[in-house]
């Protein structure tokens, strides 16, 4: 950081956009939470809590969640909608410090009990970003623009450090994986087709020649592996931010990754200093007061904590068998449930196939009809859609289930049973229930290989996808034999 640099405007903007991200996250979860982790959902939060009730006070630290107070479906929904309301307060700048603290507690509470449905990298990135942002928030209760005081430079550096770890780890883990598709620069020739929820633009990108995919794969690796070091070089931070933002926008256009790309963009905002942003906001000769000694001292503790905890995830990128002194390992283990520091890295092994689970039901065991999900591939003529920053979490998790084995995803059987029973909260997670009145007698999961069609096939058939049947994903379920 160059002496004299201040980041009051970027901090102001960072907190506002963080408020919007929290709003989308909470609203997106609110409309799904009962079907996912409610009392009649796929992985009831109450079941997890009941398994740990005898843990005494230690259970609170192992499972940090407000649901210890109340685990009802109404309370789950209340956390989501109250979180959405608090997000609006942060967005407009009302009481940012207590608001951010409550948002972090609420989201951590939901994250803790949601199992795989809230275990994505953008969920932990939101928790880590907002924990740092708590120490960035001003003490004022009412919105004020332009901000009067610059934030602690220590917190700005922590945000740079988080952005560096996010980007560089994402690139390095691809190299470390040994996947030849990253090494021979062919990864993106598969990615657009095999990613969890592609957008319409992904279909078009997939049709481009291999040389384009090789070039774009090389650019991705350059941005993730080389550009992060520009963060620490004065005079190149703005260029680094522009390159990161461009990458995030391109990912957003071709894939539905919830609020991940927006969060990646907002983490770039603290790379822009007041000298630049004051011109954009047309503030003339405005200058904020320097950070107070108190804010600098208070920010030292989280800085030491985060830097210490960062040693673990980074060391694993170089040595899988890394060992640390027992006391240090106990500290890491104790703080792990709070997700203060995390590991990052998507698609280290590029998927080259796209298995899809199609749920079918029947009244007689001979004539089968399909359930249609809201966004994941099913109907061959229904194209991909833009859905982010909303995340249809069941659709996403079905992608992971299809990549694995039935016995490792027992919630799939619960999904089948809930559909057979006609559970409204679970049915609401799907687009089409072919049995609106009567319950089916049989239900099963069939595994298909899906591929994008070519230009020629799409013109001839109108289909975005083509598929080949593999076989049953798991044993079928019959009424009376559940």
Helix segments in 31-72, DSSP class H: 33-37, 45-50, 58-62
Name the β-bridge partners of 446. Answer: 358, 472
Q: What is the pLDDT of residue 2?
A: 58
Residue 295 near residue 151 (C-beta atoms within 8 A): yes
Q: What pLDDT band is residue 480 in, cutting at 50, 70 and 90?
A: low
- Mean pLDDT computed over 266-294: 91
Rounded to whole angstroms, the Cα distance separating 283 from 146 reads: 8
Lowest mean per-residue pLDDT among 14-28, 80-94, 336-350, 368-382: 336-350
Residue 379 CA to residue 465 CA, distance in Å, equals 8
* Residue 286, pLDDT above cutoff 90: no
Is residue 95 left, alpha or beta, with left meaning phi > 0 and alpha meaning psi from -120 to 50?
left
Q: What per-residue confidence (pLDDT) applies to 54?
A: 85
Closest CA to 114 of 30, 179, 57, 178: 30
What sign results for the dihedral spanned by CA atoms 311, 314, 315, 321?
positive
Nearest to 18 by CA among 91, 117, 72, 109: 91
State phi, psi for 470 to the nearest 5 degrees.
-95, -45
Q: Is 388 left (phi over 0), alpha (psi -120 to 50) or beta?
A: beta
- The sign one gets for the Cα dihedral 401, 403, 406, 408 is negative
Cβ atoms < 10 Å from Cβ of 53: 9
pLDDT digits (tens, 9 = 90+) for 299-324: 999 999 999 899 877 777 777 666 77
Take residue 160 and report the two structure tokens written for it: 């740079």
> Given a cut of 60, is residue 422 above it in pLDDT?
yes
Q: Give the separation between CA 197 and CA 209, rounded to whole angstroms.
A: 22
Could you tell me which of 96, 104, 99, 105 has the C-alpha nearest to residue 137?
96
- The residue-averaged pLDDT of 204-221 equals 98
Tokens at 245, concatenated? 């933002």
Q: Are 174 and 182 in contact (CB under 8 A)?
A: yes
Q: What would the mean pLDDT of 210-232 be, rounded to a whole number?
A: 97
* Residue whose pair of structure tokens reads 């602690």 in the numeric block: 152
Whole-number pLDDT of residue 314: 78
Of the pLDDT bands very low, low, confident and very high (cuts 50, 70, 90), residue 287 is: confident
CA 441/CA 389 separation, integer angstroms: 37
Least confident of 70-79, 149-158, 278-287: 278-287
pLDDT above 70: percentage of residues in the chain: 97
Alpha helices in 135-209 (DSSP H): 153-176, 180-183, 188-194, 200-206
For tokens 């904020």, what's the residue? 288
Query: How confident is the model at residue 97, as a pLDDT?
Result: 96
Question: Scanning the structure block, which residue is given the tokens 């980007």?
Answer: 167
Read off the pTM.
0.96
Rounded Cα–Cα distance for residues 365 and 478 (Å): 9
CB contact at 8 A, 97 and 138: yes
Residue 290 parent element (H or E) = none
Rounded-to-integer distance, Cα 478 and Cα 8, Å: 62
Query: Rounded CA gap, 196 and 192, in Å?
Result: 9
Domain boundaries of the chain, sorted by first residue: 8-338, 355-478
In whole angstroms, give the CA distance from residue 197 to residue 394.
Answer: 12
Within 10 angstroms of residue 299's Cβ, the number of other Cβ atoms is 22
Burial class (CB in 10 A: 0-12, 13-18, 19+), 321: exposed
272 closest CA partner among 13, 21, 15, 3: 13
User: What pLDDT band is residue 329 in, cutting at 50, 70 and 90?
Assistant: confident
pLDDT of residue 47: 95
What pLDDT, on a 0 to 100 scale, did the predictor assign at position 191? 97
**pLDDT confidence tier of residue 294, bands split at 50, 70 and 90:** confident
Contact (CB, 8 A) for 299 and 272: no
Band of residue 140 on the pLDDT scale cut at 50, 70, 90: confident
Residue 415 tokens, joined = 């999904």
Residue 255 pLDDT greater than 60, yes or no: yes
SS3 label, residue 470: strand
Average pLDDT over residues 470-480: 89
Mean pLDDT of all residues belonging to the chain: 93
State both tokens at 315: 């060391």
Rg (CA), the chain: 24
Give the pLDDT score at 34: 98
């Amino acid at each position: 950081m160059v002496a004299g640099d201040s980041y009051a405007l970027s901090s102001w903007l960072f907190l506002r956009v963080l408020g919007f991200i929290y709003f989308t996250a909470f609203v997106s979860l609110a409309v799904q939470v009962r079907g996912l982790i409610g009392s009649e959902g796929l992985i009831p939060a109450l079941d997890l809590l009941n398994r740990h009730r005898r843990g005494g006070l230690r259970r609170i630290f192992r499972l940090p969640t407000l649901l210890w107070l109340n685990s009802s479906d109404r309370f789950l929904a209340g956390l989501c909608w109250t979180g959405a309301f608090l997000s609006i307060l942060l967005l407009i700048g009302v009481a940012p410090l207590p608001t951010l603290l409550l948002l972090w507690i609420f989201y951590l509470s939901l994250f803790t009990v949601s199992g795989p449905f809230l275990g994505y990298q953008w969920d932990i990135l939101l928790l880590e970003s907002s924990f740092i942002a708590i120490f960035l928030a001003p003490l004022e209760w009412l919105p004020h623009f332009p901000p009067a005081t610059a934030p602690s430079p220590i917190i700005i550096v922590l945000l740079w450090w988080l952005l560096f770890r996010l980007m560089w780890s994402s690139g390095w883990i691809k190299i470390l994986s040994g996947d030849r598709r990253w090494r021979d620069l062919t990864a993106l020739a598969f990615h657009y087709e095999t990613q969890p929820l592609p957008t319409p633009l992904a279909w078009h990108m997939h049709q481009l020649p291999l040389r384009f995919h090789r070039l774009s794969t090389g650019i991705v690796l350059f941005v993730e592996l080389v550009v992060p070091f520009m963060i620490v070089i004065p005079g190149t931070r703005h260029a680094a931010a522009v390159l990161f933002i461009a990458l995030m926008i391109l990912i957003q256009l071709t894939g539905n990754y919830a609020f991940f790309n927006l969060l990646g963009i907002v983490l770039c905002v603290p790379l822009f200093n007041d000298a630049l942003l004051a011109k954009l906001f047309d503030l003339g000769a405005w200058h904020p007061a320097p950070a107070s000694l108190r804010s600098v001292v208070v920010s030292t503790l989280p800085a030491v904590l985060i830097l210490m905890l960062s040693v673990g995830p980074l060391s694993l990128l170089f040595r899988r068998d890394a060992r640390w002194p027992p006391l240090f390992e106990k500290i890491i283990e104790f703080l792990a449930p709070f997700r203060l520091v995390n590991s990052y890295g998507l698609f280290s092994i590029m998927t080259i196939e796209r298995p899809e689970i199609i749920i079918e039901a029947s009244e007689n065991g001979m004539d089968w009809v399909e359930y249609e999900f809201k966004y994941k591939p099913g109907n061959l003529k229904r194209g991909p859609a833009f859905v982010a920053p909303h995340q249809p979490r069941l659709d996403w998790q079905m992608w992971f289930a299809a990549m694995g084995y039935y016995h490792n995803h027992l919630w799939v059987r619960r999904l089948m049973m809930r559909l057979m029973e006609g559970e409204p909260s679970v049915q609401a997670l799907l687009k089409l229930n072919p049995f609106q009145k009567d319950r089916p007698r049989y239900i099963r999961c069939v595994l298909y290989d899906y591929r994008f069609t070519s230009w020629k096939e799409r013109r001839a058939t109108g289909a975005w996808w083509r598929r080949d049947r593999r076989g049953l994903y798991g044993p079928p379920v019959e009424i009376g034999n559940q």
